[in-house]
Amino acid sequence: MILNFLPNSLTFQPRWAVAGLMLVFAQGSGSLSCSAQGVPTEVTSSLPPAPVPQLALAHAGSQTPLALQQGGIGVKAGDASPVGREPQDAPIVAVFKHPESQSWWLSGQANIIFQGRLPFHSTYQGANSFRNSSEYKSSLIGTVYAAWRPTQSVRFNTDLILDLESAGGRGLSEALGLGGITNVDVVRNPNLGSTPYLSRYQVHQVFGLTQKTTSQEPGPFALAPSVPVRRFEFRAGKMTLPDFFDINAIGSDSHLQFMNWTVVNNGAWDYAADTRGYTVGGIAEYDDRIWTVRYSLSAMPIVANGIDLDWAFSRSHGQNGEFELRRSLVPRHKGVTRILFYANRAHMGTYREAVNAFLAGTDKTPQITAHEHFSALKYGFGYNTEQEITANLRVFGRFGWNDGKTESFAYTEVEQTVEAGADYAGTRWRRPVDKVGLAVVSNAIKRDHQNYLKDGGQGFLLGDGNLNYGRENIVESYYTWHAWRGVFYALDVQHISNPGYNRDRGPGWVGSARMHVDF
């Protein structure tokens, strides 16, 4: 989703933005997430927008694309930061003006979230529980995006991409105890610290199959101002898969939209990634006028939620495939549907085997890590749709499912998810860049996983010591305010029923304040 907002008569001084940034940073470190992406526009009215990658930090904490087309439908929107080349009469949505050069890109983002929780009812809690006491935490994530286009060819374009990132801070209850963690910017292993690291390095190659082109908005993942209508695109290097799969312009941007893990991503998609949300691999994509198909092969972590990747691709790898159709159900408005499939192989255990060993007296408590096997298979699929209803109103939905037998390994502990939501631009109250959003998501786990937790087992996120099972239902709402140039503030509220799928706990309320800056 791209937020193209026109600032109203309210003036905002830059020094206020800097002071606010320093104040929140002093509250505590956190995760920084930036996203940049090219946003395609049509060359002729007969051509739909070309698909563009989104910048999103997976689990660890950030989800972010930089420049999204207004309305965003048909473009990846994990983080819909509206940075990019803008028409002269468009609002300024970056602190610094970006050069018009088509051969290189340099930009940055900072995302700061302060989050607090009210006390809630709980008859018991375990090592991995979402704590029932009051608590507040802050996170900060910052990213610098750099890219270079060594040639000026349209049909055979090459981009070299290098991003540097720093992520710090902690989540509520150390980001434990929920299927839908409330802050997608937090790293689940805070011991990693906030030392900067290379978040992405990629080679992006386009092979055009026709002379006819469609325009796209240059960004950190695609610098060419136009691309062939029919083409192959290849990427290889370090990446986060939500930059390119399961994109949703309304429900993928943790910097200007929602914050919950299972709202900004399909919770049942256990995609290949390390603790911070990154992997190494390749993506092949074919783009046509109104449809796209893409496939990826990437490295899985050695252990669940681990920072180190397993380089033995013959026994450990993640495969993802997605079909995207850019066709609207509402005349004269944009709409997109995506169908995702994935299959992971890694050193994973099965819940039923761990429970049976416990019941037989072999293990004192169920331990899935004691029953892992090389090349164990976990698979699933997802459905993702977004639809523009009016110039200001958009709706979206997701459905996800995985087999539920093999341990949750890389993203979160969800085996079925259903989600619906919408956002509305503030044009009617003369703030067209502002957005208000509402989403409802219901998460579930399968019987084997339920029995494992009920008998006292622990996953890498869940484990109350017991379980009175119920679906984990989450309602999230936000308002994002465009304050000045590339400075945005937001308030967010989340209501969580049955935290960690446990009817004996909750409901819980979480409130958040966010500051986002595009440089």
What does the domain layout of the chain look like in residue ranges? 14-130+148-518
Residue pair 505/122 in contact by the 8 Å Cβ criterion: yes
Quote the pLDDT of residue 193.
79
Quote the pLDDT of residue 205.
97
Residue pair 483/387 in contact by the 8 Å Cβ criterion: no
Residue pair 85/98 in contact by the 8 Å Cβ criterion: yes
Measure the CA–CA gap between 487 and 18, rounded to whole angstroms.
9
Helix or strand run (H / E) with residue 114: strand 104-117
Measure the CA–CA gap between 321 and 342, rounded to whole angstroms.
6
Residue pair 161/221 in contact by the 8 Å Cβ criterion: yes
201: number of Cβ within 10 Å: 16
Residue pair 35/23 in contact by the 8 Å Cβ criterion: no
Cα 489 to the center of its chain, rounded Å = 19
SS3 content of the chain, % helix, strand, coil (to 5): 10, 40, 50
Peptide bond into 507 cis (omega under 30): yes
Quote the pLDDT of residue 47.
40
Quote the pLDDT of residue 86.
39
Quote the pLDDT of residue 187.
80
Cα 9 to the center of its chain, rounded Å = 33
- Residues of the chain with pLDDT below 70 are 1-90, 100, 190
Residue pair 492/480 in contact by the 8 Å Cβ criterion: no
Quote the pLDDT of residue 76.
41
Quote the pLDDT of residue 333.
94
What architecture is the 14-130+148-518 domain classified under in CATH? Beta Barrel (2.40)
Longest dimension (CA), the chain: 72
b/e 365-386 (16+ beta carbons within 10 angstroms → b) = ebbbbebbeeebebbbbbbbbb
pTM (two decimals):
0.83
Helix or strand run (H / E) with residue 353: helix 351-359
